[in-house]
Each structure stands twice: as C-alpha cells, then as structure tokens.
Structure 1
Amino acid sequence: MFVPLRRVLPVIIVTILLIYDDRVSIPSCDVVPAVDHEGGLVDEQNHPEDLKVMLVANLLLLGSEAGWANICFRDYHLSKFFRKSFEILRPDMLLVLGDVSARGADLSRSKWSSVVQQFHELMGPFLSLPFHVTLGDRDIGDCSGLNAESVSWIASNFPGLDSAGTGAFEISNISFVSLNAVALACSNNALRFSVEKIVERESIELQMDVEHTKEMINESSKVGLPSVDVGWRENAITSGSGPVVLLHFPLHQIASNNCLGGNAYEGTSTCLHENAKTSKHRRLVETGPYELSHTLPPNATEYIFQALRPRIVFSAHTHRFYDHTHSDGTREITVPAMSWDARNDPGFVVASFKRNGRAVTVSHCTLARESQVVITYVSFLVLFTSTMILVNKPLLTCKGR
C-alpha cells in the first residue's frame, strides 16, 4: 500500500521544484508614490497610450570569463528574470544604465565581444523591442584610463550611441538624452568636451522648440484660431519640461544628508554613503574603478539642470533603489542592480510616461534573493536524495538476504 506512494515521491518532488523554478523568476512590483512638477498627484492608472519602459542596471556580465556557477546558475536565472518580466509587464522599451560588463575596462576587444554576445543571449524577447544602453565606469574605466578610441569602439556595439558614448532619441513623442557620465566626471578630458557639445546641441534644440511654439501660439491668437496643442513642450523653459536624462552616475545632490527627499520610497531608500555597510554581500563589484558612493560633480549636475531642464533623471551605479526630488523639483530615480553579483536582492524599475502630460509613474520591482534560492535548491536536493534512498532501501534489503 505504501510502496507505490514512496515510488512516486521523487516525481512529486521534481514537479514541485519545477513549479518553484518557474515562479521564483516572477518580479514583485510596487508603485512608488510621487507628485509631478506642478505639485499634483501622479495618475497611477496605466493607459494604452502610455510609454512603458523597463530600466535595468549593473548586469556585470563576464562573457567568456564566466565560470560554471555564473553560466549554470546566475546567468540562467537572469535570463529567466528578463523573460518573465517581459511576459508579465509587456514593456515598450528597455533601457540599460551602464555596467553591462563586470570588467569591461580591462577586456580585449574579443573578450568584450563575448560580453556583448552574452548580453544579447540574456535579453531574449527584449531583442524585438527598441533598447538603449548607456556606458558605466566598469565598461570604459575611470578618468585616468579613459581612452577615446576604446570608448568609441565599445559604444559602436550598442545602438544609438555616438563615438563619445552619448545619444539622443525619441520614441512615442518622448525625448531621451543619454550621457556618458564617466566622461562628465572627468575634469579635463577630451571626451567630456564631446559630451558637453551634445548637451549644448540638445539645449539649443529645446530653446528653438520653445521659440517655435511661442510663435505658433502668437500667430494662432492673432487670427482667432484655437491654440495649438503643444503637449509637454509648451513650458519647456521651466524645470521638468526637457528630455528624459539617462546617466550611469547619480547626480551630486542625491548624496546630500536629506537624500530621502520629499518623495522617497520608504523601506527602500537610504543614503548613498550607507552602501559601505552592505559591501560584505558583494564580490565582483568590490574591485571597481569608483566607489559606489561616487556621483557627478556639483558643476556637472548644475550644468545638466540648467541646459536640459530634465523631465526626469534615471541613474544607476549604487546598486540600490532611490527616489529623490532635487531642489528645483527634478525627480531622480536611481535604478538598482539586476545582478546577484552585485547584491543578494536584485531589482529593476518600470517607468510609465503619461501621454497626456509630463507625469511619470515609477514602479520598483524586486527579484528573488540569491540566498533564498540557493537554500531552497539545496533543500530540494537533500529531500530528493533522501527520498531516493528510502525508495531503494527495500530492494537493497532483499538483495542482502
């Protein structure tokens, strides 16, 4: 009576493990409460015309240098994270905010190519969507080793980046400007001047759009025509009327003592200098060119505010999630690391850009802890082994007789 049940136990255990393996890759997302630049509450309801963007950072891929633990465990689950997130969230675009590679600044071109190949393999269904990658300090190095030729070659592997590692694009009438934050952090480097030229160009185009808009409104009022619907560019001179700015390093003011700001997401936001307390959970990230508390200099931060008037800023590097409102009302979201090589509990961000205004709804998504997954797998392995021994024990006893 009990023998058939004992023999079917291994099948039951394996089935439960497969179900767990599928469900452990499902992200858990919470909308972060916020207000828009006008001080009103952001409409958190999703609409079909909203632009939904998934933002990830700090993948820390190793390419051909990856060991079996990364290939068979971390990369396997990272690929499932991407696939499940795509199936559940159905984003319109993917943005990667730097540090695609764990040691990219020290890699040869052939090894860098293996990192790019690994990146494309992990993305899976996201390859069918528009995607954009910014460059991080682990990708191109620090100021002392920043090389224009190397940056140009690395940037050529990702869509939309120029030779300086910057880019500007528009999707669904939402403008994005991607800046090489590492170059901006260097006080005297040719790449920094190239990045500043892009900022100036975008600033001039923004001002031209404003002047053109004013002329159209004036002409409409003169002839008695209805006002032109100019959308979110109507007040482009004001703070928050410019493009969405993408960076790897956070802006300087996020490191202030009041880092939680008025719109901090309680339970996930803490000051940047507290990252040192969690360094014991990190492995590869401990050897990076910059400390995790590194931010853009104050002058570069103010330059971005004045020239671009960002609608919102997305940054990365710290491996943790932050929601901060700067003194001029600009909201900055720092995207956490989506890698178990960076932290025990990885995550990412989903942003929905409202088509009927400048508001942006942000959701912070978390993924399974590596420690919990490892413990669960080990427990299943022990249980399965014990069950197999129990199932085969009567046979061994009979043979002994």
Structure 2
Amino acid sequence: MVPLFPWKPLLLFLSLFFYEHWISIPSCNIVPNSNLNRQENDVVEEEHDNNEVLKVMLVANLLLLGSDTSFFNLYFRDHYMSKVFKKSFYSLKPDMLLVMGDVSARGSTLTRGKWVSVLHQFHGMLGPFIELPFHVVLGDMDVGGCSGLDSNSVYWIARSFPGLDSSGCGGFDIDNVSFVSLNAVALLCGSNKLRFSVEKAVEMERIDSWMDTEKEMDDYGEFTKISDSFGRRKDSVSSGLGPVLLLHFPLHRAADNGGCKEGNIVRKAHVPLRQNLNALESSRGFTGAPYELSHTIPPNATQYIFQALKPRIVFSAHTHEFCDHTHADGTREITVPAMTWKARDDPGFVFATFRSGGNTVSVSYCSLARESHVLIAYTSILLLLLMLWLLANKPYNMCI
C-alpha cells in the first residue's frame, strides 16, 4: 500500500476551517457621496477615526423561516449569516443595528406560534448584537400585502420588536441623531386604516420637529410660524435637517432621476432587478394594488414625506439590491441589499457612520461571499478528501 502521510487530511480540514473563517468576514468599501465634493469626501474619510459619533449596521431581508426551515437553510445559510453577524460585530464595532424589514420569509401567513419560532431564530442569529440597541422596520413579508393587511396582526408583530407603536412606526434618538421609521407597507394600501395611522405618526414627528426648531431658532429671530391647516403648513425645518428616515420600500423616483450609483463597489446580480420583483409580486400580495409602481412609495406619499419630515438621509430596502440614489431635492437615499443567500447569490449590508449630530453621514457597502463560490469550494474539498480516502484504502502490488 502506498504510504499516506497523515498530515494531508489534517491540512484539508485546517484549510476548510480557515476558509470558513475568511468567507464570513465582510468586505466594506466607502460609497462616495455625490452631494459632497472630492475634498469634503476626503475629509470625511480622514476623520473616520477621529470624529465618529454613531456607527450603525443596516441589514435587510433576512427571510427567516423559524421552525419550518430546512436542514440546508438551518445548518448552511442561516449558520453562515450567524457567523457574519458575529464577525461584523467584532470587526466593525457598531453602536446599533437596524433591520430594514422582511425578518420573516412568510410572516404574514404564520400562526403566532410559528412567529415565535421566527423571533427565537432571529434573536439567536443576532448573537452579540442582542446586547446593543436595535430597531426593526416592518416589511411586506412580515405583515402581508394590501389585500391581507390587518391592524391587529400588525400590532401583535410590532410589539415583538422594540420601539414600534401599534401601527408599526417608531421614533427614537441616540447620540444626538434622530431616527423615524414608518410602516411603508401601509402607505401603499390606499384607504386602509393603518395608512391613516402612519400619516398621523408623520404629523406628530412634524410637530416635534417644529417645536425643536422653534426652541433652537427663536433666540435668533429666524423662526417662521406655520399655519394650522393640516397638510398645508409652511415647514420651518430646512430640507435635509430632519430625522434619518427608515422605510422598507424605497421612495418614488422620477423617471429622469432614477439611476443608482453602483460603479465597481457593488456586484451586479445575475437576475435583473425587475425580473426578481415581478416574480415576488404575487407572493407579496400586491397584485392589483392601487399603484402601478407597487415596489416604491407612491409619488403623492413620497412628496408628503419630503415636505413633512425633511429627512437628512433615507434608508430603505425591499429590492434586494444596493442603491445610492439622490432625489431631486438633494436628499440621499440608500437602499440596503438583502443579507441572505435565500434572496441572492451575493448578499451584503450597509454600514453608516453619523458625525456632527448626524449632519454628516459616511456610508459603506459591505459585500459577503457568493453562495455559488462557497458551494464550489466545499464540494472541491470534499472531493479531495474522498480521493485521499480511496488512495489510502486502495491495495497496491509492491513488487517490481
């Protein structure tokens, strides 16, 4: 028998171990802000270590299945994402986690018992993030489409996550940065009563912003009192000085200004975005929705949000792809990609750093390993182990 050195299988196992460690570490690249000139972008990067205020990791579309998950999802895909959360926590050292919707793959159809299993899986996947402040935005996979959107179900799901009211909206301040999250699903649903609850939440936030601005500007005599007419007020908050807005659905984009800045930072998906969205439309319950563009907030609601909140930056999700878009009024919107192999071959997430009270935001796109590459690597290693085993057990004639 040909002698087989015992270090060969050990070397392969060590290679597999280090490979698994390496692929779970995200690769992050800063996305330049087109609203800033080159010099200002350079200053932002130089101050990265000296003037950080708040570091936030944003993920989307985890699509967890709870107790209904398959063996492959549980011990491969979800296991990998758990390691990514852990490695991201220790390498990026974020102060907060934002989940931009679709925690569950089919939460709107689950019983409450099944939802509890999804929540347990979600908390287990967070790992060390469970010790940090985190906020969850509701997605259409979580609460359903317009045809099945129920206020009681939304309330039950919303109370399972911190900081959400009965309509699935929330507002909070952390390190002098204000955040507002809206139940964007309700904004697509016409006369649904949850829509009016969301609009009420927007109005309350507008009033809070007005009062804060009055307090800050009164001493300078620059404050202009707004009228009492609902929806017709002259907003005192300047554009881009409002809260950070969190939505699951992207805001409407004009046809002449609808491009996404991706460049070499973001890898393109194999399947076109529109094809992905059309395939998901019926399962998400938006067939026959009152708006033609059922994958973005309608134009009237988008305009209302801009006028009422004056967001300094918007974070959205839903499309599974990263997008850096600047609206006509200069508001920057970052669409967070899906962070799961269940949605795309090359998942990712966004890492944002807020400085100077949130007025300056540095955004990084963090990419993860492709599932196809990982499967090829694992298959190759297993085949090598099989070949070594066969060689070790194959009899040879030692005679010359």
TM-score bin (small chain): 0.7 to 0.9
| Residues 12-91 of structure 1 mapped to structure 2, 5 A cutoff | 12-36=11-35, 41-42=40-41, 43-44=44-45, 45-46=47-48, 47=50, 49-91=52-94
- The 3 A distance-change label for structure 1 pair 161 and 388 is same
Q: Report Cα offsets for 1:274-303 as digits up to 9, x if no partner.
A: 4134579x8x89833348971000011001
Taking the aligned partners of 1:256 and 1:133, their CA distance within structure 2 comes to 30
Amino acid at match of 1:250: P
Partner of residue 114, structure 1: 117
Taking the aligned partners of 1:128 and 1:341, their CA distance within structure 2 comes to 26
- The 3 A distance-change label for structure 1 pair 257 and 380 is farther
1:36 CA displacement: 4.5
Taking the aligned partners of 2:242 and 2:38, their CA distance within structure 1 comes to 17
Amino acid at match of 2:161: F
Taking the aligned partners of 1:270 and 1:325, their CA distance within structure 2 comes to 20
Taking the aligned partners of 2:8 and 2:83, their CA distance within structure 1 comes to 27
Contact kept in structure 2, 1:270 and 1:322, CA below 8 Å: no
* Greater displacement, 290-299 / 321-330: 290-299
Matched, 1:287 2:286: no
Amino acid at match of 1:112: W
Matched, 1:137 2:140: yes
Taking the aligned partners of 1:129 and 1:217, their CA distance within structure 2 comes to 39
Matched, 1:128 2:127: no
Partner of residue 364, structure 1: 365
Contact kept in structure 2, 1:56 and 1:95, CA below 8 Å: yes
- The 3 A distance-change label for structure 1 pair 40 and 150 is farther
Q: Report Cα offsets for 1:326-364 as digits up to 9, x if no partner.
A: 000100000000011100000000000012661110000
- The 3 A distance-change label for structure 1 pair 39 and 289 is farther
1:184 CA displacement: 1.1
- The 3 A distance-change label for structure 1 pair 319 and 67 is same
Taking the aligned partners of 1:39 and 1:191, their CA distance within structure 2 comes to 44
Contact kept in structure 1, 2:250 and 2:316, CA below 8 Å: yes
| Residues 130-279 of structure 1 mapped to structure 2, 5 A cutoff | 130-218=133-221, 237-253=237-253, 256-260=255-259, 264-267=261-264, 268=266, 274-277=272-275
* Greater displacement, 68-77 / 235-244: 235-244
Contact kept in structure 2, 1:97 and 1:134, CA below 8 Å: yes
Contact kept in structure 1, 2:168 and 2:182, CA below 8 Å: yes
SS in structure 2 at match of 1:94: strand
SS in structure 2 at match of 1:160: coil
1:392 CA displacement: 2.5
Partner of residue 101, structure 2: 98
Taking the aligned partners of 1:30 and 1:333, their CA distance within structure 2 comes to 14
SS in structure 1 at match of 2:40: coil
Taking the aligned partners of 2:350 and 2:239, their CA distance within structure 1 comes to 23
Amino acid at match of 1:27: P
SS in structure 1 at match of 2:7: helix
CA RMSD of aligned residues (A): 2.7
Which residues of structure 1 form unaligned runs of 5+?
A: 220-234
Q: What TM-score does the superposition give when structure 1 sets the normalisation length?
A: 0.87
Partner of residue 353, structure 1: 354
1:137 CA displacement: 0.4
Partner of residue 324, structure 1: 325
Number of equivalent positions: 375
Amino acid at match of 1:213: E
Contact kept in structure 2, 1:120 and 1:127, CA below 8 Å: yes
- The 3 A distance-change label for structure 1 pair 382 and 236 is farther
Which residues of structure 2 form unaligned runs of 5+?
A: 223-234, 288-292
1:211 CA displacement: 1.2
Amino acid at match of 2:183: N
Taking the aligned partners of 2:308 and 2:239, their CA distance within structure 1 comes to 10
Partner of residue 225, structure 2: none
Taking the aligned partners of 2:357 and 2:82, their CA distance within structure 1 comes to 34
Partner of residue 226, structure 2: none
Contact kept in structure 2, 1:137 and 1:290, CA below 8 Å: no
Contact kept in structure 2, 1:244 and 1:311, CA below 8 Å: yes
Taking the aligned partners of 1:371 and 1:62, their CA distance within structure 2 comes to 22
* Greater displacement, 79-88 / 351-360: 351-360
Amino acid at match of 1:315: S
Contact kept in structure 1, 2:277 and 2:319, CA below 8 Å: no
Partner of residue 231, structure 1: none
Taking the aligned partners of 1:157 and 1:165, their CA distance within structure 2 comes to 10
* Greater displacement, 151-160 / 34-43: 34-43
Contact kept in structure 1, 2:52 and 2:353, CA below 8 Å: no
- The 3 A distance-change label for structure 1 pair 286 and 183 is closer
Taking the aligned partners of 2:379 and 2:294, their CA distance within structure 1 comes to 35
- The 3 A distance-change label for structure 1 pair 356 and 180 is closer
Partner of residue 335, structure 1: 336
Contact kept in structure 2, 1:36 and 1:359, CA below 8 Å: no
Contact kept in structure 2, 1:56 and 1:348, CA below 8 Å: yes
- The 3 A distance-change label for structure 1 pair 357 and 40 is farther
1:269 CA displacement: 8.7
Contact kept in structure 1, 2:4 and 2:392, CA below 8 Å: no
Taking the aligned partners of 1:377 and 1:149, their CA distance within structure 2 comes to 45
Taking the aligned partners of 1:376 and 1:257, their CA distance within structure 2 comes to 43
Amino acid at match of 2:339: M
SS in structure 2 at match of 1:3: coil
- The 3 A distance-change label for structure 1 pair 257 and 319 is farther
Q: What TM-score does the superposition give when structure 2 sets the normalisation length?
A: 0.87
SS in structure 1 at match of 2:372: helix
